[in-house]
């Protein structure tokens, strides 16, 4: 179902970078339709583009087997912009000098423009902040290229050849931390490539609806809906295209959802005019399967396996496998790309695609996916145009496995370990340090200073996350890690503290100041109070990088007092960790 998208004016060649889709989104935000392709895509498939952008990536261009591009691209008249690894690759393929730098450059830097910085930097202010993330460096540009910019630690931060319209930057213009990044992308698209505006997601709705009718024909559509934005918008589009009698849906209540979540989802689908929508109560199936399980990846796997089992039962319980039915899914554009470091669908969505009954429908081409050309923010635009309520569309992102990954577990009792900076609690959370994923203990401190927390993480490689104490029922020196798994009681406790935080955040307006606010239950306590709460408010544009956000003191104290009144809560903590090195979610 991609006949409703225009021909791409710009291709993003993916070399395995975590920001590849962010580049594509930033191009589309300028009104120019772009798509992602593997870096090795033959030039013959790119020759009609008005421009090509080569993404960043974790590899070294001089190593065997590292991502590359068709040399014909750089020999063509098509404008090309290389970003980070993309700069190194352009320099390397055109006989410039690329080597490992004396030291890496990670985080913020100030960009110093040369007296002539070319059309790429037209109208860009000098000495503005950029985001760097590299170790390898261009030591000498290829013949015909000029150095356009530098930083204090990177003498070649941008290069360009006006004659061939080939440009490259070592920094990341696509991330929000690069203050003039939007202008750099704008200059490349419109001044260098000569693109025209051809992309406005909301205006595509009539075309998408017609595509749904074309694919469905006289058949009906069945959805497994999660209650999230993607599946709900896809369901709404199908309802609008075919009517309530021909679109059915099922929502599985796993027992891992937020307080009153199932009632909220039921209300949303009733308001949509969903005539054949039902809730499947599978709470005990999931909770009994998770009993005694502590390892995070095993938890995710079990949740996926249970979805497989329950979906099969639902499909086999009705007429949905016969020829008069096709499957509807809320697959969005990033989920359709399968290359190096490009974002993949979450585990539950992956399992949806592996269910035998669903695979049968896919193999028989009995599937409709209305959102495969749209990003998450574009899906929200569609939802707004379709009349979905703002309270639904503006909700913070919520993980597919539900509260299960915010309910941390421990396979044994363990004491905390005092250090010079605080106390290390042997509760392992996931982090991103360099290009690697890590599970490491948490450092607990007595302050709420983000700068000091960052220094502590950099100084102690044993940890990837720092939390500060907000308040307690039991002093920290009497707290320890307590053996625990996911139980109905702990889930009820997490649901209650999560609801308290959401209610206070909403009533104070704080929820509008953050991108997401996970509330995490950790098995840290004592004296009959087995758990503690960690507050994790963060600000982000897309979740790729994130900043821990401070909360107004008065609100924090109200929240602390309400949480400490919940039975079983030993203490309240505040996550002071940015991403990187700590991920937004703890598991």
Known catalytic residues are 84, 172, 174
Q: CA 161, CA 92: separation in Å to the nearest integer? A: 15
Give the 3-state DSSP-derived string for 97-145, with helices as H, strands as E and coil as C: EEEEEEEEEEEEEEEEECCCCCHHHCCCCCCEEEEEEEEEEEEECCCCC
Largest CA distance in the chain: 74
146-150 and 158-161: which strand pairing?
antiparallel
DSSP 190: I
Q: Find the distance separating the first CA and the last CA of the chain, reported in whole Å.
A: 34
Q: CA 532, CA 262: separation in Å to the nearest integer? A: 26
534 DSSP β-pair partners: 520, 573
Taking a C-beta distance cutoff of 8 angstroms, is the pair 347, 302 a contact? Answer: no
414-415 and 423-433: which strand pairing?
unpaired
97-113 and 146-150: which strand pairing?
antiparallel
**Distances from the Cα of 506 to the Cα of 256, 342, 386, 391, 555, angstroms:** 22, 34, 25, 11, 11
Listed in order, strand segments (DSSP E) in 417-545 are 417-418, 423-433, 436-445, 465-472, 480-481, 519-522, 524-525, 531-535, 538-539
Strands across the sheet containing 569-575: 417-418, 423-433, 436-445, 465-472, 569-575, 531-535, 519-522
Taking a C-beta distance cutoff of 8 angstroms, is the pair 369, 233 a contact? Answer: no
Taking a C-beta distance cutoff of 8 angstroms, is the pair 448, 468 a contact? Answer: yes
Extract the tokens encoding 535.
């507050």
Taking a C-beta distance cutoff of 8 angstroms, is the pair 307, 300 a contact? Answer: no
80-83 and 51-54: which strand pairing?
parallel
**Distances from the Cα of 216 to the Cα of 316, 364, 477, angstroms:** 21, 13, 63
Q: What is the DSSP string of 319-370?
A: STTSTTEEEE----GGGG--STTS----HHHHHHTT-HHHHHHHHTT-EE-T
Q: CA 155, CA 109: separation in Å to the nearest integer? A: 12
DSSP 4: T
Q: CA 68, CA 86: separation in Å to the nearest integer? A: 9
């Amino acid at each position: 179902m991609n006949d409703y998208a225009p021909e791409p004016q710009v291709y993003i060649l993916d070399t395995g970078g975590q920001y590849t889709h962010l580049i594509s989104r930033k191009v589309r935000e300028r009104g120019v339709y772009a798509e992602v392709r593997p870096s090795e895509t033959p030039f013959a498939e790119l020759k009609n583009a008005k421009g090509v952008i080569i993404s960043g990536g974790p590899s070294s261009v001089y190593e065997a087997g590292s991502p590359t591009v068709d040399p014909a691209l750089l020999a063509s008249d098509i404008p090309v912009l290389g970003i980070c690894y993309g700069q190194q690759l352009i320099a390397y393929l055109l006989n410039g000098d690329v080597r490992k730098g004396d030291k890496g450059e990670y985080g913020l830097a100030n960009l110093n423009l040369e007296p002539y910085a070319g059309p790429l930097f037209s109208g860009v202010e000098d000495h503005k902040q950029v985001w760097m993330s590299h170790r390898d460096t261009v030591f000498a540009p290829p013949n015909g290229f000029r150095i356009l910019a530098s930083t204090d630690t990177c003498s070649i931060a941008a290069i360009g050849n006006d004659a061939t319209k080939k440009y490259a930057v070592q920094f990341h213009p696509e991330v929000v931390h690069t203050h003039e990044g939007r202008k750099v992308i704008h200059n490349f698209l419109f001044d260098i490539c000569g693109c025209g505006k051809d992309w406005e997601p909301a205006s595509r709705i009539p075309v998408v609806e017609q595509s749904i009718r074309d694919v469905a024909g006289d058949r009906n559509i069945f959805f497994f809906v999660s209650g999230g934005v993607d599946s709900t918008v896809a369901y709404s589009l199908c309802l609008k295209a075919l009517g309530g009698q021909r679109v059915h849906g099922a929502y599985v209540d796993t027992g891992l959802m937020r307080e009153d979540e199932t009632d909220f989802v039921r209300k949303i689908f009733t308001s949509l005019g969903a005539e054949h929508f039902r809730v499947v109560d599978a709470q005990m199936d999931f909770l009994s399967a998770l009993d005694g399980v502590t390892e995070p990846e095993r938890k995710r796997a079990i949740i996926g396996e249970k979805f497989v089992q329950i979906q099969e039962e639902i499909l086999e319980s009705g007429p949905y496998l016969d020829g008069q039915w096709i499957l509807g899914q809320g697959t969005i554009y990033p989920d359709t790309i399968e290359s190096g470091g490009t974002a993949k669908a979450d585990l539950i969505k992956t399992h949806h695609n592996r269910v035998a009954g669903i695979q049968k429908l896919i193999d028989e081409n009995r599937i409709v996916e209305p959102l495969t050309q749209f990003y998450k923010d574009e899906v929200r635009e569609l939802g707004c145009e379709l009349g979905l309520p703002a309270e639904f569309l503006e909700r913070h992102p919520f993980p597919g496995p539900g509260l299960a990954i915010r309910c941390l577990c421990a396979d044994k009792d363990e004491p905390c370990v005092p250090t010079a900076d605080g106390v290390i609690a042997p509760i392992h959370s996931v982090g991103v340090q360099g290009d690697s994923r890590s599970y490491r203990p948490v450092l607990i401190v007595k302050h709420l200073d983000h700068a000091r927390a960052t220094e502590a993480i950099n100084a102690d490689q044993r940890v990837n996350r720092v939390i500060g104490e907000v308040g307690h029922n039991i002093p920290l020196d009497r707290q320890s890690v307590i053996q625990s798994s996911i139980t109905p009681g702990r889930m009820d406790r997490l649901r209650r503290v999560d609801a308290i935080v959401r209610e206070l955040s909403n009533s104070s307006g704080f929820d509008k100041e953050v991108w997401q606010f996970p509330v995490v239950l950790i098995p840290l306590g004592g004296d009959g109070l087995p758990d503690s709460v960690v507050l994790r408010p963060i600000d982000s544009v897309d979740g790729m990088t994130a900043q821990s956000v401070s909360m107004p003191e008065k609100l924090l104290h109200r929240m602390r007092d309400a949480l400490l009144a919940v039975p079983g809560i030993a203490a309240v903590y505040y996550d002071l960790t940015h991403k990187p090195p700590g991920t937004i979610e703890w598991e």
